[in-house]
Amino acid sequence: MEYRQFPEHTIGSYSSAYYYGADFVELDIQITKDGHLVTSHDPTLKETTNVESFGSKWKSRENNYIFPPYDNVYVNDYLIHDFTLAELKLLRRKMRYWSRNQYFNDQY
């Protein structure tokens, strides 16, 4: 199997971790508007999904958020708990950092 990296908190990333012998995987859990549990490090969607490609569909849910105690600031972002599981399933995960992309070839 060729080494691949996948967007965080996806079946691909979990499967890859298992395949390469990870001792454990940290699961960051968020809750949806309709009470389902999903895995995502951040409570927001902009950095790790294509939520912005839906244009004005969910524009009313966009806002600025600060989460203490770390004071993480999310500008013009969308909270996971404002979306149902069905709505989240419409989104695609994406790489948070370009350097983690499986197609990254050391060119900036």
- Only one residue has tokens 């927001």, namely 44
Residue listed under structure tokens 């969308």: 78
Q: How many domains does the chain have?
A: 1
Nearest Cα to Cα of residue 9 among 103, 86, 63, 80? 80
Chain position carrying tokens 């996971």: 80
Domain hosting residue 62, numbered range: 30-96
Q: How large is the average pLDDT for residues 32-44?
A: 94
Residue 30 to residue 41: CA distance in whole angstroms? 8
**Is residue 51 assigned to a domain?**
yes
Which of 12 and 104 is assigned the larger pLDDT?
12
Averaged pLDDT of the chain: 84
Whether 72 is covered by a domain: the verdict is yes
Q: Is residue 16 part of a domain?
A: no
Q: Which is more confidently placed, 70 or 55?
A: 55
Does residue 108 sit within a domain?
no
Q: Are 87 and 36 in contact (CB under 8 A)?
A: no
Q: Give the pLDDT band of residue 108 (cuts 50, 70, 90).
A: very low
101 lies in some domain: no
β strands within the chain, DSSP E: 29-31, 37-39, 63-67, 72-77
Give me the percent of the chain exceeding a pLDDT of 70. 85
* CB atoms inside a 10 Å sphere around CB 59: 11
Q: What is the pLDDT of residue 104?
A: 45
Mean pLDDT for the stretch of residues 5-10 = 79
Q: Is 56 part of any domain? A: yes
Average pLDDT over residues 91-107: 62
